[in-house]
Structure 1
């Protein structure tokens, strides 16, 4: 505590000294600044007041002088004007440093004052130009000019210009500064003393007492009083925080003592539990904690003893279950081996069936394709027959037209033959008549003979043409009959082609249905084959898992051999013989 107390005491002492000095210095500086500012403002106000009074006095004096000097100026009485001017200068006690009076023509009637000679020309211009009272500021004062009016108050008879200095007014204003400064210094000293005393009483002394309280708290003494708790400022807040700190430290000390007692009790509990857990680590399930714990930790002892008893019962149950697992695993291993063999056989058979169905599906698909081709050929023949039928019909109509034309030609040839016969008769009659005429009709007889010969040849030609036309008519009749029979045969062929096309469509549809059915059967067999393969894999994995279960049961039996379940005997381990040829662990997988 000495080191802690010393470490705390030094910062508190430094804080106290620094805080007191800083606050005191701040108060002194603030007081000095305030007092100096007040005094300075007061002096400035007095100076401004004196200057204002001087300006008022100057305005009144110049106005009065202008009234008094109006008559002398109007009559040009320079001596009287000068006397009035000197009287005004004396009366102003040095504030008026120059005065110039001008007449109506701007000439100087009088000039007086300390600066009248040096500044008369400048003031002369101001006096001559002044139409009314005018004030102009200068470096150390101000100029004031005014007109001099006649008795009627309107006619300007002259002018007056003055120059005033504010030095005397300022000096008179500052004549009481020494007393003011002395009073201000006394007030400043009194305020500083009061401020220092107040800082000491309100800040320094409470901080010293709080430092003493903090030192006592640092040394572990929590029963001392803490002052300034009732204050409503920062010192009071600090004192209350110190009080809260002391209360918390008291609580922390009590808690630490309680924790020390708890640590001793916990150490006893931990020791007993460690011994019990050491026994459990040696697989001794007969260990119990007989020493009673504290009331708070008694449930822990009961829980430990109950856990050990429950674990002992669980181990006994596990030992019994291992035997049951062994018997069940033997039966499951045999069944799994048989099921694996049957599943593999079934998978091979389904694989062959799937291959055969694929071939059948290919053949049926090929048959359906050929049926579709035959259907397209039959449809083409049907379309050709339908196209040929109107052509044959047109041929029959054309042959009928030829037959009709042949009949008309026969009639024409018969008419030609009749004409030839009549011509022959006429030629014969002409020849007879020419013979009767003798020589005169000899030429006509020759012509008649030629006409008869031509008529005979025409008759012979017409007869031959008629025979040819009759033969053609017979051939045309035969052709018409053949074309008609061809049309009838073609119509029958078209009907048969329609029937064949319908049958081929049905065959193609049936072939497609068969191919689709075979494809679905093939897909189903493929899925069945896949499922069978998966079942075979699962059966194999199950077989491996069963054999692994047997091995794990053997390992568990070896572990259970080390557990001590009775205080006087050790339970022998359960022997689980391994099956010959059984796969080892996951190696069979």
Structure 2
């Protein structure tokens, strides 16, 4: 048993426990099925008989009530259908009860079968009695029908017998139900006891097998755990004594082999790294690096090779740095001198740019003043133009008024003409009147003279007004031409002001640009001064760098480097196991 594989040990143990468990479950399933069959028999037997017996009683009560109502209400036809349906329902229920008792052979079943037979006979007799009652009802002989259904009659005895038989069936069904219940309890108790016993046996077998398996596995696992913990803490001197042909025995032998191999590799790695730490890069590995440890061997060889090559390159670089630092020092001094000359030239350039900036600022101020004067002139011309427009409007009003006066004078002229005609008529009439009309003729003559003078004055006034209108029209034309000239002057003044404003803005922008140029020149001056200082510092740093290069070369000379002609066989691509397995 000791040399069996762990899988076989566990399989056999599991199969043994499983067989006992399956046996217990099969027995439990069998008992559950038996209990289910008993419950089904209970439902189809006593429970159904009880239900149908109660249904028979309800149907009998309905029959008795409807027969009584058909007599009392004298409505035999209306109740007959319901009564016959109740009789049919009773017979169907009796058939169901009779089927449920078939195949049973005990005292209660026999008594129930007798009750069924008696009940069926009583139902038939009750129906016959009802047919006789219904015959009287069809003849409307309600008195005889009521006498037949009264108490202590044959009908009443048969009806009471039917009720009693249905009650007896119900009582027998309850007794059968009690017997079924007792049988189920006994079966359940027996099944429970046997199931508990089988489960206890299963548990005992499982515990025994578990204890055996645990004891057979615990000791080697504890030895392997101790060995693994020692290896995890860095101690590869392990002691595993378990010997077997199972998986744990194989694991024990593999762990001892692994410990010895890792120990050899670590000792060789320590030796190589110790030589590297002392400055000897001309060293090689001796142990056999297998599997993933091959990456360690490749990494060690790559480290020693790369460091040797790096040190050699550093040595060459230190010599080149020493030579280059001397050149940098010389160049830095020349750069410093050139930077000083540049600073002087930039200061002169900055002074010139400042003068140009001041002149541009003056031009900008003059342009602003010219712009202001142009705007004021344009404003004054605009005011003169507005006044000319008001003058034109006034002359138009004069023209309109003169025209109205001309009309009035025309009216006066017409009145004078009419007056003259009236005076002439008055003179004619005075001449006709003779002496009596002489005084009136004198008056008419005076009136005619006044009318003639009025007409002459109106004519002269009209001539003057016409001349005034003509003069006003000529003045209006002159004013319109003057207004057009002023508008052109305004437009020219506005364009001039815009040009002067553009010149002022351009002057301001030029002043801003000159300021930025001045700022840039100052920054260049600062940069040149900084470059001069940096050049001096670079010269000093180059001298210091030359000294450091000499010291670095002396340090490199302390290391023992590999022979560049000696070839170390390793794969430079296999130096990082974790990178290749990501």
Both proteins in one fold, TM over 0.5: no
| TM-score normalised by length of structure 1 | 0.43
TM-score normalised over the length of structure 2: 0.44
Greater Rg over alpha carbons, structure: 1
Q: Which has the higher strand share?
A: 1
